Structures are given as structure tokens and as C-alpha cells.
Structure 1
Amino acid sequence: MRNRLTRSTAFRLAGFVALIVTLTNVAIFTALYFSISEQMAAHLRAHVDEVRKTLIDVEGEESEGFQELTTMVEGHARVAQSDEDIYFLIDQTEKRLAGNVASLQRFDGWRTIPWEDLKLVGNWSSHRASDAVIGRWTTIRGGYLFVGDGNGDIRDAQRLLLKGLLWGIGLSVVCAVLGGWLLGLKAQRRIVEIEEALDAVAGGSLERRVPRDSGADDVDHVAALINSTLDRLQRLFANLRQVSVDIAHDLRTPVSRMRQRLETVRAGPDCIDAYKEATDSSIDEIDRIAETFDALLRISEIEAGARKAKFVDVELNALLTNITDALEAVADERQHRLHPAQQTAGPVVVRGDRRLLNQLFLNLLENAIVHCSDPADIRVELAVADGHPVVRVRDTGPGIPGDEREKVFRRLYRLEKSRTTSGNGLGLSLVAAISELHGATVTLSDNSPGLIVEVRFTQS
């Protein structure tokens, strides 16, 4: 259980948010720490410079000025014993004249001197929060003057910043952990819902779906994709069950006929002609069954998309002309009139498999010729709409009822429920599979009377 907790989205999100907030706070407080410390050090140096210039002005140009400076430095040193200010005056031979330190080596520029390196003079009370003195030497007319001040204010500010940093990090980490944990729990709950839905589907409940959230976040987008996949999976299983039932139904009739025919021949008198007739009839039934399975395998191969590698530029103008010319005699035999294909002025080209496209339009025209019982007009139109090729097959036959137009694309589905007429119900299924392979859509509409089949290519 603990291992699952540490691997959960809630735990990891909370830890990640806490880490980011902590690093951000550390970066902000580090910048503030050095910035404020530098500003306060600059103020301290400015204060030292102001005191130093005041003392230098006391020396002036008068002969007694240096003595007056010595007296003032000594007075400042006595007052400053408990106040961190450091004064030290030496003559040109570096002899100590006044100050609150016994000795101090001269140096150039500013320097930070730890308290333990200073040889203090007198009884000093414990200094403030400082741990060092910031000061510099100044060359004067009678010798050298050192003025310094403790860095107590800087240290106080630094300690305050560090305390604020610790409190800030502590509070922000607590808030980040709580916030991250709550957000993570929500995400974890969504993940659990997805797991439960997928487990239910794996157990056979194909109607189960992942609950959607009104937030429309990334997880909700994933849930929508999963639901779409499950919808398609459910349709595929439904189609598979329907195909299985239709195959069983389609095979039962011819198999029963073959059995009845063979039993009749076996029960009757021995006659070579009767045996031959029964055998020929049975072979015809087997051939029709084999054609059905061949068509099913062809549809499966097309839906797999393996033939896309053979796509070439196909000119629809010549393709439709050849098909209408080939089927004109067949239409005449059934007393239908198949008009020449109506085409646009220029060539219309699509990327596709020539044989499959030929099969697609051949099936559409053959369906129109076979299912139009009365003498009918059949027309083929080729046009370009919105930059996409469109092929329409119109007939004046009985048409297809509106509630049946989606069903006729299912495999082995036939409007004639008794299945006594010829055909296997795979013609329009093959049309739909070829159209989908070529990025085309097939729609059926009313021709009043008759049917309009439109194939619209949407991919170039």
C-alpha cells in the first residue's frame, strides 16, 4: 500500500509542487539576502565616510589642529566603547596617539576585520549582533586615521532574512504539499475512474464509459478519446456479432439445400444423371459460399489499409467512361438506360488504387442496374465541389428507405429479408471500405423517385 501511495499521481504532484515552491523561495530570498546586505554595507560605509570627513575637517590647516583631532578621537573612542565604533589615530612614525584599539596594521581601501583580530582597549561590554568591523585608513597631514563601524545592523538584517526564509519555506511547502495533494487526489480519482471503466470493458461490459468532467482539462480530453475508442470498439463487436449471425444465416440455407438435394439423390434410384445434377448444384452452392468469404476477406484487407502503398494518380474521367461503356449492354438487357458519364471540362485526378476505384464504381452501377425492376434511367456525374472530386450515381428505381440507408453498408445486410434473391449483401460494404481507404465519404439520398449515391473525395 505504501509503495502504491508513493507512486501515485497525488504524491508525486505534491512533492513536485513543494520542490518547485521551495527552490523559488530559496532563489528569491537569496537575491534579497545579497541585495539588502550590499545596500546596508554601502550605507555603513557612507556613515564611516561621513564620520571620517568630520574628523579630518577638525585637523584643518592650523598647527593645533592635529592636537585637537587627537583629543576628539580619544573622546569618541571612550564614548564608543559600548557602541561598536572603532577609532584609531597614529602619527607618521605609526606611533599610537588615540583610539580604542591598541594596534592595527595599515591597509589600502575598505576591509572587514573580525572582532577577534582587534586588540581592544578598555572595558568593552558585549557588542551587538555584529561579528566584524568595516572600516578604512585615511592619510592626514599629521599621520593616519582609521575609522570603522560594526556590522551589527547588517547581521541583524541577515538574521531576519534567514528567519523569514525559513518561515516562508515552511509555510509555502505546507501550502504546496496540501495544494498539490488536493490536485493530485483529483487527478488520481480520475485515473481510478478510467481504470475501473477499462476493467469493466475488459470484463465484458462494453457499454461502460469513463465519466466526463466539466473542467475540460487534459484528463478529460483523454477520457473523451477513451470513450470514442470504446464506442468504436462496441460498434466493431456489434458488427462482428451481426456478421456472425448473417454468415450463419446465409450459410444455413445453401447448406440445407445441398443436404436435402444429396439426401434425395441417395434415397432415390441409382442414376448417374441425377448424381451429376446434384453434384453440379452443390458445386454452384459451394462457389457462391466461397465468393462470399472471398468478398469478406477482400473487405478486411482493404480496411487494414495495406494497399495504400500502391496508390497512384487515377484520372476519374477515363475510369468512369470505361465503366459506363462496359455496362451499357448489361443495362440494355434489363431495359434500363445507362447515360454516358457527365463530366467536368478538365481532368479530375485522385490518389488511389485503380483496381479498387474501378471496383467501387462498378459495384454502384451494378447495384443500380440489378435493383431497378422497372425500366429506369441511370446517370453518372463527375464534378468538383469546394476543390474536391465528387461522383454521383442517380437512378429512378425504388430507392432505399431512409431508416435503412445506414444499415445497407453493414456486411451481409440485405433489404430483402427472405434472402431468396441472388447476392450476398457485401456490395455496398465493399464500396464503404474502398471509400474509407481513399479518404472519401459515401452518402445516400432520395432522387424522387430513386436513389442518389454520392462519393466525395476529401483527401488529395
Structure 2
Amino acid sequence: MRLTDLHRTTGFRLATLFLILFGAVAILLFGYLYREITGFEQERIDDWLIREHAELQREEPDELVARFEHQNQFDPRHQRPFGLFDATGKHLAGGYAGDLPAIPVFDQPFSMRLAKLPDHLPGRCIAARVPDSRIALQCQNTRELDHFDEELLHALLSTALITLVIGLVGASLIGISAMRRLDAVTASIEEIVAGNLSRRLPMHSKRDDMDRLVGVVNGMLDEIERLMNEVKGVCDAIAHDLRTPLTRMLGGLERAQRRAKTGAEYRAAIDETIVETGGLLRTFNALLRISEIESGVRRSGFTMVDLAAIADDVFEFYDPTAEDKQIAFELQRAVSGPLDIQGDPNLLFEALANLVENAIKFAPHGGHVRITVFRDRTSAGVTVSDDGPGIAPAEQQAVLRRFYRGEASRHTPGSGLGLSLALAVAGMHGMSICFKDATPGCEVLLYKPTE
């Protein structure tokens, strides 16, 4: 992003908006302070003029000339020029030289230029009619007050200008920082689009709203990478796992073509092909089943389900299988009453059945398999434990992937999709699957955190 695009960034616009709002408030505040300060000084001068005017009204007429001359002796700099004038406006006494100026109003303070004094100084005056048709003019030189007002206004304007410059610099820095972060994010996204799915958007230590958004996007990228790897792994696994049965099918048909002489031999070849084809169809059906579950289309049909009752059904269904293998199969309830959750009873039965079927499959002849329904302070669910070879800690997450076959199950019949289907059902119901080492054997937990 170029610097010419700085004004388009959200950070710069927000900073500029706050600067404008702050400037408007500052102008109102400065105007109020300027008005109050200058008004206070003028009110102080007006109060003094009114007091002088009141004392003048109490003065004896014969003593006015002496009063004005006496005041003039103590005011050589004409800070408070007083003047006494006759009825024709001729100067009689006081430091205000020259004829009487135009009086806009009597007995009230007013502003005017002291034209008869050097530099035509500004002043605040009050005029009064006294006996013998004379006019008394009392003034206060306001040059210092005007100078103070100018300095105050200059200070306020300078402060406003400095604030504006600092605000624009700050807005620019914020905008440049936002541009750099966006450039870094854009570069990362372009690299991801180019095919590097391991790339992640950069995060800072500020933990601001941008970092929260980046964190969500990185989480989404983690999930996308996981799904892509899973799809790749599934494709590789399908190619690997289907190659063997397809090779057997092709080999069987070719042998039947070369060697079969009787109808019985052809039927045997056909039966073998049907068995292999059935296995392939079961694999594809399992994949379609997992995809259907992961799509969540059946979530709309959720009802209140008793997980303990489903555990009872699974126990009854697999009890004959365990008995045939001479496995001690038992069901334990660590809770009394129902264990209700929102879900699909058929899918939950299928998930728990896969766990129990694996436990019975890998338990040794004469071994033990136990289903336990539990509820504690943090979670509720079902555990399935056996005393078989168990799952190595390094493989506990891998066995949940599609088609993955651990070392202990590599030579055992199966497609490697049972745990993947159980995981998909668990995710659909907001549940989790984890493994514990039963030493010997394995314990699988299908649980949901309690709210």
C-alpha cells in the first residue's frame, strides 16, 4: 500500500475523526475560557468605574476641580485619565487633555479610544453630569487588558495549531502502522493463496481487535489445513487400501479366466469377487456416512436422548458377541437415573457401538470389556475399557483419522473408519473422544462437558 493511500485507512480516518471531535470541543472550551477571562477583567474595571462614579456624585461641586487635578498628579502615565469639562465641552481640569469627546451614554460604562492621549489608547469610561452643567469623564486605560486578550488569543490559537499538528502526525503514524499490518496480512494471504497452507497471518502482542480477528482467521486456516491434509490422507489411504482388494479381484478373475473349467469353479471365483466388492461398498458407505454426519444435516432432528439407555442397548446388542469370544462383558452405572442430552439416538448408538466393537475385537480371548456411564463436575458420558494391546500415546490422535491402522490392528480385519465415524458423531453432538492407558489395555471416553 502506498503512502498516497494513507487517507483511506481505517486507522487514519478514525484518528482524524477523533481529532475533529477533540478540536470542536477544544474550540468551544477555548471560546468559553476567552470570554470568561476577558469578561472578568472588564467587569472588574466596570465595578471600579461605577464606584468612582458613585463617589463623584457625593463630592462637593466646589471641590471637583481640585479632585481632578489631584488625581492627575498621581497619574503621570495616564493609566486613569480623568477630565472635567464645562457645558460647551471645554477642558477645565484633569489629565484628559482637549475638548470633551462624543459621549454615547451617561452614568454607564462604555468603551472608546482616548484620542487626546498618545497612541490613541483604548479605554473604558463613564460620564456624568455634575452641577453647573459640567461633565465629568472618568476613564481606565485598557491597553494592558487588550494586550492580555491578544496574548491569550495567541496562546489559544498556538495551542490549537500545535494540537492539530500533533494530531495529524499521530493520525499518520496510526495509519502507517495500520498500513504495515495490512501489508503484512495481505502478503501472508497471498502466500496462502499461492499454496502455502502452513503460513499464518502475523499477530502482535497488543491483543487488540485486529489481533482477535487474525486469531479467528488463523484458527480457520488451521482447520482448513487439517481438512486439506485429511482429504489428502484419505485419498492416499483410499488408493492404498482399495488397491489390495481390487488387485485380488482382478487376480481372481484372471485366474478364473485361465484355469476355471467347471461351473463350480466359476461360481467360486464369482463368490470371491462378490465378497471383495461387498467390502469395497462397505468402505464407501462408511465414507459417505461420515460425510453425512460431518455436514450436520441431521442436527435439526435432535431430541432429548438418554445416553444411559443407549449404553444399555449397546450392551444388550454386543453381549452375545462377547460371550462367543468368552469375554467378560459388563455394564456399570456411576450415575442414577437418566443421562439426558440433545442428540440423535441412532447416531449415538452407532458411535458407541463402534467403540464397543473395537474393544471386543482387540480384547484377548477370555479378556474383559467394560462400559461405564458416568457424570462428574466437569463432564458426563460413557467410557469403554478393555485389556487388549492398547493404543500407544503417539498414535492416540492418529487412530481417529480415516483409514489409519495402528501397529496393533494392522493385521486385524477392518477399514480403519470406525473411530473416524465415532469422532464425527461426537463432534456433531458437541462431545469429545479421548484415550486413557488402562495398563494393560485401553480406555476410551465419549463425553460432553457439563454447562
TM-score w.r.t. length of structure 1: 0.83
Alignment of 1:97-176 (within 5 A): 101-104=100-103, 106=105, 110=108, 112-113=110-111, 115=113, 123-128=116-121, 130=122, 134=124, 147-149=138-140, 151-176=142-167
Alignment of 1:23-422 (within 5 A): 23-57=24-58, 59=59, 65-69=60-64, 72=67, 101-104=100-103, 106=105, 110=108, 112-113=110-111, 115=113, 123-128=116-121, 130=122, 134=124, 147-149=138-140, 151-269=142-260, 271-386=262-377, 388-415=379-406, 421-422=412-413
Amino acid at match of 1:66: P
CA RMSD, Structure 1 to Structure 2 (Å): 3.5
**Retained in 1: the 8 A contact 2:379–2:447?**
yes
Instruction: Give, in whole Å, the separation in 2 of the partners of 1:2 and 1:211.
Output: 21
Contact 2:363/2:369 (<8 A) preserved: no
Deviations 1:192-232 (A, max 9, x none): 22211111111111222334434444444444444333333
Which stretch has the larger CA shift, 140-149 or 211-220? 140-149
The aligned counterpart of 1:62 is none
Q: CA deviation at 1:245?
A: 0.6
Deviation at 1:453, TM superposition (A): 0.9
State the distance in 2 between where 1:297 and 1:89 align: 115
State the distance in 2 between where 1:368 and 1:258 align.
Answer: 31
Structure 1 residue 408: Cα displacement:
0.6
Look up the SS of the partner of 2:323 in the other structure. helix
Q: Using the TM superposition, give the Cα deviation of residue 437 of structure 1 relative to its aligned residue in structure 2, in angstroms.
A: 1.9
Aligned pairs, how many? 443
Partners of 1:348 and 1:142 lie apart in 2 by: 113
Query: Which residue identity does 1:161 align to in structure 2?
Result: L
Distance of 1:272 and 1:458 partners within structure 2: 61
Distance 2:85 2:271 in 1: 134
Change over 3 Å in CA distance of 1:20–1:103 after alignment to 2: closer
Superposed CA deviations along residues 26-78 of structure 1, whole A, max 9, x for unmatched, are 24422321121121122111221232233233x2xxxxx12433664688799
Cα distance change, pair 252–125 in 1 and its aligned pair in 2 (3 A): same
Contact 2:334/2:375 (8 A) holds in 1:
no
Instruction: Check 1:341–1:169 CA distance in 2 against 1; reply closer, same or farther (3 A cut).
Output: same
Give the Cα separation in 2 of the matches to 1:305 and 1:137. Answer: 94
Q: 2:428 aligns with which of 437, 443, 454?
A: 437
1:346 corresponds to which letter in structure 2? Answer: G
Moved more, 241-250 or 150-159: 150-159
CA distance in 2 between counterparts of 1:231 and 1:67 reads: 104
**What amino acid maps onto 2:336 in structure 1?**
A
Q: Are the counterparts in 1 of residues 49 and 109 from structure 2 also a CA contact under 8 Å? A: no
Q: Which residue of 1 aligns with 2:8?
A: 7
Q: Once structures 1 and 2 are overlaid, which stretch shifts more, 11-20 or 28-37?
A: 11-20
Q: For each residue in 1:327-363, what CA deviation from the matched residue of structure 2 results, as whole angstroms up to 9, or x when unmatched?
A: 1111111211211333422322112221211112111
1:379 match: secondary structure:
strand
SS in 2 for 1:314: strand
Cα distance in 1 for partners of 2:44, 2:368 equals 102
Cα gap change, 1:291/1:77 in structure 2, threshold over 3 Å: closer, same or farther?
Answer: farther
Structure 1 stretch 176-185 or stretch 449-458: which is displaced more?
176-185
2:10 and 2:160 map into 1 onto residues whose CA distance is: 23
Unaligned 5+ residue runs, structure 1? Answer: 60-64
User: Cα deviation per residue 1:304-333 (whole Å; 9 max; x = unaligned)?
Assistant: 333332222211222211221121111111
Residues 89 and 100 in structure 2, CA contact (< 8 A), matched pair in contact too: no
* TM-score of the pair, normalised by structure 2: 0.84
Residues 6 and 175, structure 2, Cα contact 8 Å, conserved in 1: no
3-state DSSP class of the match of 2:119?
coil
State how far apart, in whole Å, the 1-side matches of 2:350 and 2:357 are.
10
Q: Quick one: distance in 2 between partners of 1:36 and 1:2?
A: 44
CA 1:412–1:248 in 2, change beyond 3 Å: closer, same or farther? same
- Matched residues in 2 for 1:339 and 1:269: separation? 50
Q: Which amino acid aligns with 1:401?
A: A
% identical aligned pairs? 28
Specify the code of the residue in structure 1 equivalent to 2:333: Q
Amino acid at match of 2:46: R
What is the rounded CA distance, in whole Å, between the counterparts of 2:274 and 2:356 in structure 1? 29
Q: Aligned pair in 2 of structure 1 residues 163, 259: CA closer, same or farther (>3 Å)?
A: same
Q: Distance in 2 between matches of 1:420 and 1:274?
A: 29
Q: Distance in 2 between matches of 1:139 and 1:308?
A: 100
How far apart, CA to CA, are the structure 2 residues paired with 1:181 and 1:407? Answer: 50
User: Matches of 2:182 and 2:233 in 1, distance apart?
Assistant: 34
Which residue does the alignment assign to 1:19? Answer: 20
Q: Which amino acid aligns with 1:243?
A: V
1-structure distance, mates of 2:76, 2:104: 21
Instruction: Tell me the SS of whatever aligns to 2:298.
Output: helix
1:104 partner letter: I
Aligned CA distance change for structure 1 residues 418 and 139 (closer, same or farther; 3 Å): same
> Aligned AA for 2:120?
H
Q: Partners in 2 of 1:344 and 1:75 — Cα distance? A: 110
SS of the residue corresponding to residue 221 of structure 2 reads helix
Structure 2 residue runs of 5 or longer lacking an equivalent are none
Q: Do the aligned partners of residues 362 and 69 (structure 1) sit closer, same or farther apart at CA in structure 2, a change above 3 Å counting?
A: same
> Conserved in 2, the CA contact under 8 Å of 1:442 and 1:456?
yes
Q: Secondary structure at the match of 2:331?
A: coil
For residues 96 and 446 of structure 1, do their structure 2 counterparts lie closer, same or farther at Cα, with a shift above 3 Å needed?
Answer: same
